[in-house]
Structure 1
Amino acid sequence: MDGPTCILLQGKDSSRTRAMVTLLHGNEPSGAIALHRYLRNGCRPAVNVVCVVASVGAALEPPLFSHRMLPRARDLNRCFRPPFDDAQGVLAEEILEILRLHAPEAVVDMHNTSGTGPAFGVCTFMDRHHEALVSLFTQRLIISSLGLGALMEISEETCPTVTVEVGGRLDEEAHALAYEGLCRFFEAPEVLSPGDTDWGLELLQDPIRLELKDNVTLTYADAPCDNYDITLRPDIEHHNFGGVSTDTLLGWARAEAQQLFTAQDAGGRCAVSRLVRVSDGRLYPAQPLKLFMITNNAAIAHSDCLFYAVADDGSTICA
């Protein structure tokens, strides 16, 4: 491939179509690896499948599969709403047009997590169709209405669409899960639940993102670093999907939390004080929480967020 690529697989039932989108981020290879393996095996899916491999240029930039996006480019998975007025926006609009033309009955957008951690699915609202899709890959589902311009947000207007994060980008287990789930999605006669089935999913409701304020500096180390505003513990990603208490040390900070971080709940209210606190220069959770999508990559922390959080029982964090 020398650029974004669309592959159409002819299914046994050509009257229906599903869609898989992957490599929206060039450093998340599991979906592309799984698709390549499927094509090499010569399998035939149950229905037609449209496969979109998006950020090929970023993925091919040396070293291979290490760049989320090219320098100065927007995050492609924040571009699926207007305006489509730059190269990433044009590509996002083209992907949306491909999906519109083929009218799939379901869409899976496959990703890797920024750090190591277990697999999970994300959708904008819960119903039996979204649950059924996610259950092909994992037993953990996040319901998020943040409205960031992600591909999964088209679910509200078109067809059931989910994001699946299969695990860390360097983890062989993530590559294996991506392939196994892809096979189920491609080859199952039905992927949308016809009735009220209990899939037994762990549900996490309306997470809040903790982000850095502009010009705040961040690093990862075992002790506070004088030249940085925030130092996070290098093993912080081990808390992914685990509960953290108010005495769990996350790192160190050289100012009060509200000076360093930004966070908004679904109502647009500042939520920093509900997520973290600083005591004697040490950074702790403000209440018992469950954290996920924690990154130990400072570049991703600056361009995206540090982590997502819900209450420790998986419910929405209340004001």
Structure 2
Amino acid sequence: MRIHFFKNPQPEQFGETPAEFLKTLGGPACLFFEGRDTSRTRALVTLLHGNEPSGTLALMRWIGAGHQPAVNVVCIVASVQAAASQPAFTHRMLPGARDLNRCFKPPFDDEQGRLAEEILALLDLHHPEAVVDMHNTSGSGPAFGVCTFEDRHHDALVSLFTDTLILSNLGLGALMDISEDKYPTVTIEVGGREDAAAHELAFAGMQRYFMAEQVLSGSAPNAVTHLHDPVRLEICSGNRLAYAAVPQEGVELTLRPDIESLNFGTVSAETPLGWISGDLQSVFTAVDMTGQCAVARIVRQEGNRLYPAGPRKFFMVTNKADIALSDCLLYAVAADGQAL
């Protein structure tokens, strides 16, 4: 996998539309912007998933504005081919490919793994003082940050974009897993991929990240609220899923069609989630940080109806069946933000 390199790119190089921008990149790309202070470097990684456009759109706007960043900035735009596949920005990855944001740990023995390894090598080469990995959420919802390491540096980075930080160390092979060993790294989920507000937040936060003299200390734009050690609620392999206002025949799980509206608000134990055929353990799997089954701490069943197990905060709730089945349905913490 060869990454294409662009130094101090100019607006006229890329055309005026996202399609032209992706075509010019030609594949995974690294864009380097020389800063006023050339002794330091920051990194931005985006488009690890081809259906998450906000970071790419924000980067196009940044290039068009013609600003010089405070320090050197290296920007890696990853899943360009997936994003360019028609319909544009709808394919998370190419058919048959692994999720790139699960490939940042060995073995690097397939095309996605080799691309992840090359991205890590590029970051090591530039040794940035900070890394921001920009994403869209799989459903509509508020912005939030995620990191594996709790300290003021990570708080400061997240505060450039949002006031909510999820502290998680699931070890899934995400880019942010490098944070403890290398340099402060945060994932920023700016909101839904079709939400104009998410595109605006991506650009505003990117401007702050590129232009601020300091991003790891000083006064934070937002006070940051922490949510601790969320648990992933996954759907067991072989189950079928539908989103509808009434239970559907022939599927094990029917979820309310507006379930993504539950993102980040506190849900009570009486909030209806949908309908289930069979028992919880045959439909869901969830493992907490100690390796214990946590399904019964996230959801409960009354007859064929599905409810939260108690007052909870849910996030990354998706109404996209393919993502719910291949990745996870939602993440959960207690209502006070602590681990379940």
**TM-score over 0.5 (shorter chain):** yes
Q: Secondary structure at the match of 2:179?
A: helix
TM-score, length of structure 2 as denominator length: 0.92
Percent of aligned pairs with the same amino acid = 62
Q: What is the 5 A alignment of 1:21-100? A: 21-100=45-124
Shift in Å at residue 227 of structure 1?
A: 1.3
Structure-2 residue corresponding to 1:274: 297
Shift in Å at residue 200 of structure 1?
A: 2.2
Contact 1:17 1:105 in 2 (8 A): yes
Structure-2 residue corresponding to 1:135: 159
Structure-2 residue corresponding to 1:243: 266
Structure-1 residue corresponding to 2:149: 125
Shift in Å at residue 280 of structure 1?
A: 1.3
CA distance in 2, matches of 1:64, 1:242: 31
Shift in Å at residue 41 of structure 1?
A: 0.9
Q: What is the 5 A alignment of 1:154-165? A: 154-165=178-189
Q: What is the 5 A alignment of 1:157-176? A: 157-176=181-200
CA distance in 1, matches of 2:206, 2:188: 11
Which amino acid is the alignment partner of residue 272 of structure 2?
L
CA distance in 1, matches of 2:222, 2:191: 20
Shift in Å at residue 17 of structure 1?
A: 0.2
Gaps of 5+ in 1: none
Shift in Å at residue 199 of structure 1?
A: 5.2
TM-score, length of structure 1 as denominator length: 0.98
Q: What is the 5 A alignment of 1:197-236? A: 200-236=223-259
Q: Secondary structure at the match of 1:290?
A: strand
Answering whether residue 307 of structure 2 is matched by residue 284 of structure 1, we say: yes
Shift in Å at residue 277 of structure 1?
A: 1.3
Contact 1:204 1:315 in 2 (8 A): yes
Q: Secondary structure at the match of 1:174?
A: helix
Pick from 118, 136, 147 the counterpart of residue 171 of structure 2.
147
Structure-2 residue corresponding to 1:12: 36
Q: Secondary structure at the match of 1:156?
A: coil
Contact 2:28 2:78 in 1 (8 A): yes
User: Structure 1 residues 198 and 25 mapped into 2: Cα distance closer, same or farther (>3 Å)?
Assistant: closer
Shift in Å at residue 287 of structure 1?
A: 1.4
CA distance in 1, matches of 2:218, 2:181: 20
CA distance in 2, matches of 1:4, 1:200: 35
Which amino acid is the alignment partner of residue 206 of structure 2?
L
Shift in Å at residue 219 of structure 1?
A: 1.0
Pick from 163, 167, 186 the counterpart of residue 210 of structure 2.
186
Pick from 98, 101, 114 the counterpart of residue 138 of structure 2.
114
Q: Deviations over 1:89-129 (max 9, x none)?
A: 00000000000000000000000000000000000021000
Q: Deviations over 1:163-212 (max 9, x none)?
A: 000000001100000000000000000000169x7952111000000001
Pick from 252, 256, 267 the counterpart of residue 279 of structure 2.
256
CA distance in 1, matches of 2:46, 2:107: 22
CA distance in 2, matches of 1:219, 1:74: 24
CA distance in 1, matches of 2:125, 2:218: 25
CA distance in 2, matches of 1:236, 1:28: 20
Q: Secondary structure at the match of 1:248?
A: coil
CA distance in 1, matches of 2:221, 2:193: 30
CA distance in 2, matches of 1:210, 1:194: 37
Structure-2 residue corresponding to 1:3: 27
Superposition misfits of 4+ residues, deviation over 3 angstroms: none
Which amino acid is the alignment partner of residue 238 of structure 1?
S
Which amino acid is the alignment partner of residue 226 of structure 1?
E
Contact 2:148 2:167 in 1 (8 A): yes
CA distance in 1, matches of 2:242, 2:321: 6
Structure-2 residue corresponding to 1:313: 336
Contact 1:131 1:199 in 2 (8 A): no
Which amino acid is the alignment partner of residue 122 of structure 1?
V
